[in-house]
Structure 1
Amino acid sequence: MVALAAVVLAVRTAGAAVEALAEAWPVLLLIAVPAGAAVAWRLRQAVAGRRRDRARLAALRLTLAELDAMDDRDFEHALRDLLVRDGWPARRVGGGGDQAADVIGDHAVRGRIVVQAKHTRVAGKVGSSVMYAVKGTAGPAHGADHAVVVTNGSFTRDAMAWGDRYGVHWVDREKLRRWAEDGSALHELLGLPARTRGARFGRAA
C-alpha cells in the first residue's frame, strides 16, 4: 500500500509539473528568446572583433619615428604585434626577472622565438653583453629555437660578430625599418629555418 501510494503521488506530481509547464511556456519563451538573441549577438561581436584585430595586424606598419617615440614597454608591445602579424602567436613577458626575454612567440613550423628588446636613443649602441645574456638564457630558461635582439639603434661591431658566430640574431635600425615599416616578415628577413628535432639553444627542463 505504501509503495502504491508513492507511485500515485509521483504520478500526480509529474502531472502537476506538466500542467504548470504547459501554462508557463509562453512566459518561458519570452524569457528564452531575448536571452538567446543576446548570447548570439555577443558571439557575433566577439567573432567580428577577432576579425578586425586580425585585419589590423595583417596591415600593421610602424615607422621608425613612431618606434623611436615609444617607451620601453610600448616598444615591446609593438614587437609582439609585429610577430603576430608575421604568423607567430606571441606574448610580451618583459619585466623584472624576465631572464633576457621580452617577447616570446611560437610558430607551428619554425618553433619558438625569444626576442630581447633594446629601445634606445637613435645613436645608442647595444654591446656584446646583451648577446651573452640572451645566448645564456634563450634555451635553458625559455626553450628557444631562435633568439633575436632588436633595437631601434645599432650594435657594436663585436656584438654583431659575436651574434653571427653563436647564432644570436640581431635586428638593427635598418633591419627594423624593413620589418616594421616595409612589412617584411622577420623570419624571411633573418632567414630563420624551420624547427628541427632539437632546439638550437636546447630545451627548458
Structure 2
Amino acid sequence: MTQHNDPVVSADVLIRFADWMVRAVVVVVLLFAYLAWVERDPVAALPAGGAVLVAVSAWHRVTQAPEPKAARAAGPAPVSIADVDRMTCRELQLLVASLLRRDDVGGVHAPTSRVDLSSEVLGHTPTGRTVLVRCHRDAPRRRLGAAAVQRFLDDTLGVRATDLPVLVTTGRFTRSALALGESRGLVLLDRTQLATWLTGRPTRLTPHLGA
C-alpha cells in the first residue's frame, strides 16, 4: 500500500474513523436499550426492534449512497484542481467517475472503498474495452514512484485483467514511474493532466477512449 504523509489525507482518514465510531456507539446504545426493554416487555419490544433495524439500515444506505441519478445525468459541475485538493478520497473517486461518463465511457461504477487511500472506478469504452482507473489522493508535491506503478500493473494485468489501466494522482509521477508506465501501456495522469481533463481538453487518456 502506498504510504501517505499528507496531513490533508490524514485528516480524511480521521473523518472516516470518526464516522464509524459514531455509528458503532449509536448501534451499541440502541442494542443495550433494546435488550433492557425486552426484559421488561418482550411483546412490545419485538416490533419496535424491527422498526429500529429498518431505520438503521436506511440510514446506512443514505449515508453511503453514490451520486444521485440527476447529478450523473448532468455530468460533473465545474471543478478546479484547487477544489480537487480539498476533496476526500471518495469525492475524488466520484469526480473521476463523472468525468468518464462525460467522455462516453459506459457502465461506470465506483465501488465504495473504506480501507485504502486509493480507490477505483470501472467502466468500458464504446468499443467494449474494459477500463479500470485507480485514483490516488496525494499531496500536490508528492511523487508516485515506479513501485506504485508496478503494484498497479500487477493488479490490472494479473489477477484483475483489464484492457485499459489508468492511474490518476493528485500529485505527480517520478521519471522512472512515467518510463515504466509508458513501456507497459499504462495511462498515467498526474495533477497537470487531471486539471486539463477537468476542462474537457484532451489528455493522455483521450486517444484510448475511442479505441
Is the shorter-chain TM-score for this pair beyond 0.5, marking a shared fold?
A: yes
Q: What pairs up with 1:155-170 in 2 under 5 angstroms?
A: 155-170=173-188
Percent identical: 23
Q: Counterpart in 2 of 1:147?
A: 165
- 8 Å Cα contact 2:72/2:98 also seen in 1: no
Cα pair distance change 1:94/1:137, threshold 3 Å: farther
- 8 Å Cα contact 1:131/1:159 also seen in 2: yes
For residue 110 of structure 1, report the CA deviation from its aligned partner: 5.2
- 8 Å Cα contact 1:110/1:192 also seen in 2: no
- 8 Å Cα contact 1:60/1:85 also seen in 2: no
Distance in 1 between residues matched to 2:128 and 2:208, nearest whole Å: 7
Q: Pick from 85, 92, 105: which aligns with 1:75?
A: 92
Q: Pick from 127, 135, 140: which aligns with 1:122?
A: 140
Alignment RMSD (CA, Å): 2.6
Q: Pick from 81, 101, 106: which aligns with 1:84?
A: 101
Letter in 2 for 1:107: T
Distance in 1 between residues matched to 2:155 and 2:168, nearest whole Å: 16
Q: What pairs up with 1:1-205 in 2 under 5 angstroms?
A: 52-53=70-71, 56-57=74-75, 60-89=77-106, 90-93=108-111, 95=113, 102-109=120-127, 111-180=129-198, 182-184=199-201, 189-192=205-208
Q: What's the TM-score, normalizing by structure 1? A: 0.60
For residue 102 of structure 1, report the CA deviation from its aligned partner: 0.8
Q: CA offsets, 1:44-103, max 9 Å, x none?
A: xxxxx96x546521x6432101111001111111111111111113111352688x8611
Moved over 6 A (4+): none
Cα pair distance change 1:62/1:75, threshold 3 Å: same
Q: CA offsets, 1:143-196, max 9 Å, x none?
A: 31111110111001110111011111100111111101x11366x74421656x
Unaligned runs of 5+ in 1: 1-48, 196-205
SS at 1:139's partner residue?
A: helix
Q: What's the TM-score, normalizing by structure 2? A: 0.59
- 8 Å Cα contact 1:101/1:114 also seen in 2: no
Cα pair distance change 1:175/1:137, threshold 3 Å: same
Q: Counterpart in 2 of 1:202?
A: none
Distance in 2 between residues matched to 1:193 and 1:176, nearest whole Å: 16
- 8 Å Cα contact 1:111/1:194 also seen in 2: no
Distance in 2 between residues matched to 1:193 and 1:79, nearest whole Å: 14
Letter in 1 for 2:95: A
Distance in 1 between residues matched to 2:115 and 2:72, nearest whole Å: 31
For residue 106 of structure 1, report the CA deviation from its aligned partner: 1.3
Unaligned runs of 5+ in 2: 1-67
| Larger Rg, first or second structure (1 or 2) | 1
